[in-house]
Amino acid sequence: MTTTNMDQTTSVAACLTISIFFLTIKMIKRRTLHQEGPSLPPAVSVVSLSAYLPTFLSKGLSAVIQDLHTKMGSVFTISLFGLKKVTFLVGPEVTAHFFQGSESEIRQSDIYKVTVPVFGRGVLYDVDLATRSRQISFCLDSIKPMNLRGHVDSMVKEVEDYFTKWEQHGVVDIKHEMGNLILLIANRCLLGKQFRENMFEEVSTLAHDIFDNGFHLISLFFPYLPIPPHHRRDKARAKLGEMIHEVVRSRRSSGQAENDVLQKFVDSKYINGRSMTENEIAGLLICMMFAAQHTSSATSTWTGACLLSHGESYLAAAIEEQKRIMERHGEHIDYTILQEMGTLHCCIKEALRLHSPAILLIRHASKSFSVQTREGYKIDIPQGHTLATCTTVSSKLPYIYKDPDVYDPSRFGPGREEDKVGGKFSYTPFSAGRHFCLGEDFAYTQIKVIWSHLLRNFELELISPFPKEEWDKFIPGPKGKVMVSYKRRRLT
Ligand code: HEM
């Protein structure tokens, strides 16, 4: 070993020792405080956090939070040079208020202001609470089960057409395929036939420019920084906005109605009877596309990767389930038949538990509040703290999920239902409470349409190593290509 290497090693070891020393002091301090009554969360400074840099770079943010959770407990604060305090709350015992607190106590809007350049002015996080709540209810209504039923035929058609283009056998990057397919479905069901048939390529390029350039790490802190990715985002956002405005205008003037979310927005009215403006409709559609795209394509890819690598018996069970359903209904698929796919549902749900794309949910504490930990300690969270919960860490708590790192879809099945037994906030990949994901049913519906088709029509094998997680993305998915070989077959 050279002298320089030794110096580096010694410095790293010294840093680690100092960090561990400070962490230990903080923990002892916390224990002492607990014995005296309610206390502030134990805190860790950015300096101490530097010890976690190797973990962050090799395993990502979740692994760092997991380590901090193990060392510091279910509530802890990261102090950013004393300027900002981010308090983490992990697990169902301490997150009830985080999820359910009213906007005057637990604010979401400040944090989500970063979405304004993407969703646009005059919508969602750029408007007052009453208007935002109404706009969210427009989104919710547009894909409620009654309306979602009407989209299943379009989803099935998109999926069948897409896989018709596959050869008799071959090799594909399933992550790329899922990304394409989910975007096709979003074009068809959210934006409508006209976009899907005449403007798909352009929308894909624009969506890519908006979402991939709009949510760099730097965008979270400086969403308007004049940098090339933000210029690309703004140009693409303006163009997609114009395209949507034009279709809305043409539908309004012709009175022509379609079965898509855009139409539902055209028909929606505020309490005072006002219709949404073209700008509001474009903003909500872009929000829905953003919320649906990476989350669903990542989950669909993880479902495949899990089933094809460490879920052999679950893969067999999911195929058996398809056989049984085909015996009853033949090739036909509709919303009710999708509800019969309980095994496939659990396989997707378990992939999402292990690989949640929405790692961090963030809020602002507008008022101070207290939480009680599982161990019975009362902890005060001061007003002004930024609050965060980490879905991937909460989803692996060993007192809720048996062998939490193992892919085991039957944990959600009859007789176990570990998430329900664990309590209301035990399973949070779709968030919970006030800002619960309104697209959960839509997501399961499209992923089940895709995977039931694949299971019925192809023999599949994962031929690349099981993917690692992307750690450098706002909405992380599987890292790199996920190569799968396929061979056509007929399930009988
Ligand atoms: C597997 C797929 C999906 C996952 C994991 C997911 C996850 C989430 C999460 C965690 C939130 C809440 C964020 C927070 O609490 O701060 C959320 C909100 C939301 N999601 Fe999803 N989502 C998925 C699919 C979809 C789809 C398909 C749509 C629409 C078609 C959608 C529309 C929305 C909307 C509009 C919100 C905002 C709700 C609000 O602020 O009240 N999501 N999603």
pLDDT tens across 136-155, in order?
Answer: 999 999 999 999 999 999 99
Q: Is 319 in the pocket of ligand 1 (CB under 6 A)?
A: no
Q: Is the pLDDT of residue 31 over 60?
A: no
Which residues 6+ apart lie within 8 Å of 20 measured at CB?
A: 51
**Do 362 and 421 belong to one domain?**
no
Q: Are 425 and 432 in contact (CB under 8 A)?
A: yes
Q: Let me know if residue 91 belongs to a domain.
A: yes
Q: Let me know if residue 415 belongs to a domain.
A: yes
Which residues 6+ apart lie within 8 Å of 101 measured at CB?
A: 363, 369, 434
Q: Which residue has the tokens 């990767």?
A: 305
Give backbone dihedrals phi and psi of 114, rounded to 5 degrees, phi first: -60, -20
The boundaries of the domain holding residue 416 are 402-428
Q: Is 240 in the pocket of ligand 1 (CB under 6 A)?
A: no
End position of a domain, from candidates 348, 374, 394: 394
In which element (H, E) is residue 344 found?
helix 342-354
**What pLDDT score was predicted for residue 33?**
44
Separation of CA 48 and ligand 1 centre (Å): 34
End position of a domain, from candidates 428, 445, 474: 428
The reported pTM is: 0.91
Proportion of the chain above pLDDT 90, given as a percent:
80
Binding residues: 437
> In whole angstroms, what is the distance from residue 241 CA to residue 221 CA?
24
The per-residue pLDDT for range 116-129, each reduced to its tens digit, is 999 999 999 999 99
Task: Kindly state the average pLDDT of the residues 6-14.
Answer: 42
Q: Let me know if residue 23 belongs to a domain.
A: yes
Which band of pLDDT confidence, cut at 50, 70 and 90, is reported for residue 91?
A: very high
End position of a domain, from candidates 383, 410, 428: 428
Q: Let me know if residue 17 belongs to a domain.
A: yes
Q: Let me know if residue 329 belongs to a domain.
A: no
- Tokens representing 355 are 């690989």
> In whole angstroms, what is the distance from residue 162 CA to residue 118 CA?
29
Which has the higher per-residue pLDDT, 484 or 375? 484
Separation of CA 265 and ligand 1 centre (Å): 18
The per-residue pLDDT for range 252-286, each reduced to its tens digit, is 999 989 999 999 999 999 999 999 999 999 999 99
Q: Let me know if residue 85 belongs to a domain.
A: yes
SS3 157: helix
Which has the higher per-residue pLDDT, 213 or 200? 200
Q: Let me know if residue 420 belongs to a domain.
A: yes
> In whole angstroms, what is the distance from residue 222 CA to residue 229 CA?
12
| Number of structural domains the chain divides into | 2
Q: Let me know if residue 421 belongs to a domain.
A: yes
SS3 144: coil
Proportion of the chain above pLDDT 70, given as a percent:
92
**Do 366 and 408 belong to one domain?**
no
Q: Is 476 in the pocket of ligand 1 (CB under 6 A)?
A: no
Q: Is 134 in the pocket of ligand 1 (CB under 6 A)?
A: no
Q: Is 348 in the pocket of ligand 1 (CB under 6 A)?
A: no
Which has the higher per-residue pLDDT, 397 or 223? 397
Query: What is the residue-averaged pLDDT of the chain?
Result: 90
